[in-house]
């Protein structure tokens, strides 16, 4: 648990083989690098290593393997499941100095970047050429490419573009023993047996450390219209979604929903103006690219006639679009700033959402009678963020105990409906105990076999996802 945990001969080897600023043990840095956006664990890493090259990562891991030193690979640390938490004297391996971005390949629509490149920086880098890497979410200003890939991150554009997994062509991965793997190069097609690249995507740093990636790019989308609708309840959110999805007049790039309770917390935290005169129980943010403007207008008009929405606004210009997006993207931050949320990030088959939500209501009223529950999420992907807020009068320990007790009931319901207990936040430490609700025993056994094969000494992100 302390810096003394690092053996002297290991430190000696670091001093001899690496630059002077390679390792830091400054207490402030340890605090900072030891945690992600979860605030449940007390950070306590032994040190932070800040390599600049793949070669340094490779030599460091070989050394850690030799000395049995636990390593927590670390990107932008914006995770919400504790995957990048170092609370047990581990060595944090931060990729944040590896931010180089290569030239954009305009013929192949690809770009090679180092793992520490910040998501938004990649967007800017490619936008000059009319291209984008369509992995996009609220934390894009801090999250890194390596972290996005290691967690197979989701976000707000999944409905149109899919997960990070779909946008990675090649990977450079350093194994637990320090070997450097070049997987798939920059190939779109490569049918030469099992695709090892996919093994590392979403493995949360437990199988290898991603150091570089060749990203697949796509054209920047055309003009996007942003709408916010007021609807009476969750069932209406789904009704509107069913209707929107059937339209040919536009393609949906985001379909997000949030409840008025989220909006109220936002209003308390930041002075964002409510877009409607009269509040409604639920709101839907729709971002769409119109293919047939007249047909879109016809559809919008029909929403009122068919009573699918009770009110709606359309952003005029980019500033208003950003304002509407701020309502959705600011929720997570505002919930934490105004109270203590207990977060769950679940997904269901879209077709089963309605039945699930009805049963979820019953669980809420049985388990959390009268509590404030803030629901929001990427409902177009079947993804719900369930935030149970700590009642002001209750103390933190009692609250955590209560939610811990209630979670299995909800996870059992998720399992019954064929859903996942972690849609896009990963497993990390937070969801590890509940993995069995989404993965069968045979699957878990196979995951352990893989872990042992790739990391025989268990030095890579130990204690996260599954135990070997």
Instruction: Write the CB contacts of 104 (distance below 8 Å, at least 6 apart in sequence).
Output: 110, 111, 125, 126, 128, 129, 131, 217
Q: Rounded to the nearest whole angstrom, what is the least distance from the CB of residue 311 to another protein in the complex?
A: 7
Q: How far is CA 6 from CA 26, 30, 42, 66, 93, in A?
A: 15, 14, 19, 13, 14
What residue ranges in 52-187 does DSSP mark as E strands? Answer: 71-74, 91-94, 110-114, 131-132, 168-174, 180-183
With contacts defined by CB under 8 A, name the span among 145-153, 221-229, 254-262, 361-369 that binds another protein: 221-229
Q: Which among 226, 253, 242, 250 has a CA at the least distance from the CA of 318? A: 226
Contact between 150 and 205 (Cβ < 8 Å): yes
With contacts defined by CB under 8 A, name the span among 7-15, 273-281, 326-334, 424-432 that binds another protein: 273-281
Number of residues this chain uses to bind another protein (CB under 8 A): 29
Smaller CB separation from another protein, 18 or 229: 229
Smaller CB separation from another protein, 178 or 312: 312
Helices (H) and strands (E) in the chain, counts: 15, 17
Contact between 108 and 68 (Cβ < 8 Å): no
Q: Rounded to the nearest whole angstrom, what is the least distance from the CB of residue 381 to another protein in the complex?
A: 25
Contact between 389 and 335 (Cβ < 8 Å): yes
Among 4, 192, 223, 246, binds another protein (CB under 8 A): 223
Residues 296-325 that bind another protein (CB under 8 A): 297, 300-301, 303-304, 309, 311-320, 322, 324
For residues 73 to 112, the per-residue mask of contacts with another protein, x marking binding by CB under 8 A and - elsewhere, is: ----------------------------------------
Q: Rounded to the nearest whole angstrom, what is the least distance from the CB of residue 52 to another protein in the complex?
A: 16
Compute the distance between CA of residue 169 and CA of residue 216 in angstroms, rounded to an integer: 6
Smaller CB separation from another protein, 223 or 246: 223
Q: Which among 174, 199, 134, 177 has a CA at the least distance from the CA of 51? A: 174
Q: b/e map of 68-100 (b: 16 or more CB within 10 Å)? A: ebbbbbbbbbbbbbbbbbbbbbbbbbbbbebbe
Smaller CB separation from another protein, 300 or 435: 300
Q: What is the DSSP string of 195-255?
A: -HHHHHTTSTTSS-EEEEEEEE-EEPP-PEEEEEEEESSHHHHHHHHHHHHT-SSEEEEEE
> Would you count residue 120 as binding another protein (CB under 8 A)?
no
> Would you count residue 273 as binding another protein (CB under 8 A)?
yes
Q: Rounded to the nearest whole angstrom, what is the least distance from the CB of residue 6 to another protein in the complex?
A: 29
Residues 229-258 that bind another protein (CB under 8 A): 229
Smaller CB separation from another protein, 231 or 423: 231
> Would you count residue 20 as binding another protein (CB under 8 A)?
no
Q: Rounded to the nearest whole angstrom, what is the least distance from the CB of residue 22 to another protein in the complex?
A: 19
Contact between 237 and 284 (Cβ < 8 Å): yes
> Would you count residue 330 as binding another protein (CB under 8 A)?
no
Smaller CB separation from another protein, 319 or 393: 319
> Would you count residue 275 as binding another protein (CB under 8 A)?
yes
Report the interface residues with another protein, using CB under 8 A: 223, 227-229, 267, 271-275, 277, 297, 300-301, 303-304, 309, 311-320, 322, 324
């Amino acid at each position: 648990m302390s810096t003394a945990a690092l053996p002297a001969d290991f430190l000696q080897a670091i001093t001899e083989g690496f630059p002077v600023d390679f390792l830091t043990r400054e207490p402030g840095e340890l605090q900072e690098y030891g945690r992600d956006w979860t605030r449940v664990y007390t950070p306590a890493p032994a040190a932070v290593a800040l390599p600049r090259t793949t070669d340094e990562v490779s030599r460091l891991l070989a050394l850690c393997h030799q000395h049995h030193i636990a390593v927590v690979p670390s990107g932008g640390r914006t995770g919400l499941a504790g995957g990048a938490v170092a609370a047990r004297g581990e060595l944090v391996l931060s990729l944040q100095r590896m931010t180089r971005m290569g030239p954009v390949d305009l013929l192949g629509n690809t770009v090679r970047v180092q793992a520490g490149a910040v998501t938004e920086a990649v967007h800017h880098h490619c936008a000059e050429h009319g291209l984008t890497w369509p992995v996009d979410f609220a934390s894009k200003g801090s999250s890194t490419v390596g972290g996005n890939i290691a967690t197979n991150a989701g976000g707000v554009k999944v409905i149109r573009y899919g997960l990070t997994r779909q946008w990675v062509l090649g990977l450079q991965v350093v194994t637990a023993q320090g070997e450097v793997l070049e997987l798939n190069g920059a190939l779109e097609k490569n049918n030469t047996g099992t695709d090892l690249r996919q093994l590392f995507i979403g493995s949360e740093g437990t199988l290898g450390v991603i150091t570089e990636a060749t990203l697949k790019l796509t054209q920047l989308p055309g003009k996007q219209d942003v709408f916010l609708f007021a609807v009476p309840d969750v069932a209406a959110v789904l009704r509107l979604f069913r209707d929107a999805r059937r339209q040919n007049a536009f393609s949906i790039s985001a379909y997000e929903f949030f409840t008025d309770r989220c909006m109220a917390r936002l209003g308390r935290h930041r002075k964002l103006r409510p877009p409607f005169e009269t509040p409604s129980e639920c709101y839907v943010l729709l971002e769409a690219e119109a293919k047939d403007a007249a047909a879109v207008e016809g559809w919008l008009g029909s929403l009122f006639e068919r009573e699918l929405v009770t009110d709606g606004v359309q952003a005029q210009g980019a500033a208003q679009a950003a304002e509407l997006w701020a309502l959705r993207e600011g929720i997570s931050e505002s919930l934490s700033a105004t109270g203590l949320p207990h977060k769950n990030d679940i997904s269901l088959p879209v077709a089963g959402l309605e039945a699930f939500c009805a049963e979820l209501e019953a669980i809420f009223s049985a388990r959390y009678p009268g509590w404030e529950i803030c629901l929001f999420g990427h409902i177009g992907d079947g993804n719900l963020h369930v935030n149970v807020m700590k009642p002001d009068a209750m103390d933190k320990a009692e609250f955590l105990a209560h939610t811990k007790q209630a979670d299995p009931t909800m996870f059992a319901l998720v399992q019954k409906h064929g859903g996942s207990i972690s849609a896009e936040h990963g497993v990390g430490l937070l969801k590890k105990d509940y993995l069995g609700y989404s993965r069968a025993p045979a699957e878990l056994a196979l995951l352990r076999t893989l872990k042992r094969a790739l990391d025989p000494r268990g030095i890579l992100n130990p204690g996260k996802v599954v135990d070997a």
